[in-house]
Amino acid sequence: MKYVIMFTDSPESYADVSAERHKEIYQRVWDWFRVNDAAISDSGAQLQPVSTATTVRSGPDGPVVADGPFTEAKEVVGGFSVIDVADLDAAIALVKTWPEFDLPGIGVEIRPMVTDYSQFE
């Protein structure tokens, strides 16, 4: 099954992380993608910081453009990947090895992708 996994972090996640530690985590993230290459498709992305976000929202007089992310939530999406694994347990097992979990305030959301569009016909 195909899942999108969304990597989120919080302001506290990298608050006390030294430049060296940051580099070390980044290296492990890099390795993680290499090791799990077979399950991960090419269509993922790491995102620029949330300060670069622009949101277009529906308004009474048409779409409204505003600075900032969708919500006021503390957790922000930092990137996403598409994985193809047997089932949710396999997805969970893979996600549990995500190196950033050593830090506080890290979350990874797993969502199945719609692959059968007949339900919308």
End-to-end Cα distance, the chain: 21
Q: Which is nearer to another protein, 58 or 118 (CB)?
A: 118
User: What is the closest distance, in whole angstroms, from the C-beta atom of residue 39 to another protein in the complex?
Assistant: 14
For residues 50-89, which are near another protein according to CB under 8 A?
A: 86-89
Q: Which of 15, 66, 73, 93 binds another protein (CB under 8 A)?
A: 93
Is the CA virtual torsion 113, 62, 74, 25 positive or negative? Answer: positive
Judge contact between 29 and 99, C-beta under 8 A: yes
3-state secondary structure of 9: strand
Positions touching another protein (CB under 8 A) are: 1, 86-89, 91-93, 110-112, 118
